[in-house]
Amino acid sequence: MTKFVWSGGEWLDTTGWVPPRRKTPYIITDGMAHAVHPATGQVLDSKSKFREITKQHGLIEVGNDYQTSQTKPVMDRVERKRDIAKAIEQLEGGHVPPPDAAPLEGVETRMFE
Q: Got the DSSP string for the chain?
A: ---EEEETTEEEE-TT--PPPPSS-----SEEEEEE-TTT--EEEEHHHHHHHHHHTT----SSPPPS--PPP---HHHHHHHHHHHHHHHHTT--PPPSS---SSS------
Report the pLDDT value the prediction gives residue 42, as an integer from 0 to 100. 92
Residue 38 lies in a domain: yes
Residue 49 lies in a domain: yes
Segments forming the whole domain that contains residue 45: 29-60
| CA separation, residue 80 to residues 72, 74, 112 (Å) | 13, 10, 29
What φ, ψ does residue 44 adopt, rounded to 5°? Answer: -125, 150
Residue 66 lies in a domain: no
Residue 54 lies in a domain: yes
What φ, ψ does residue 56 adopt, rounded to 5°? Answer: -60, -30
Report the pLDDT value the prediction gives residue 101, as an integer from 0 to 100. 57
pTM for this structure?
0.40
What's the structural domain count of the chain? 1
Report the pLDDT value the prediction gives residue 56, as an integer from 0 to 100. 94
Report the pLDDT value the prediction gives residue 71, as an integer from 0 to 100. 75
* pLDDT (tens place) for every residue of the chain, 113 residues total: 889 999 989 999 999 889 889 888 888 999 999 999 989 999 999 999 999 999 999 998 887 667 677 777 778 889 989 999 999 999 899 988 776 656 666 666 666 65
Residue 47 lies in a domain: yes
Residue 78 lies in a domain: no
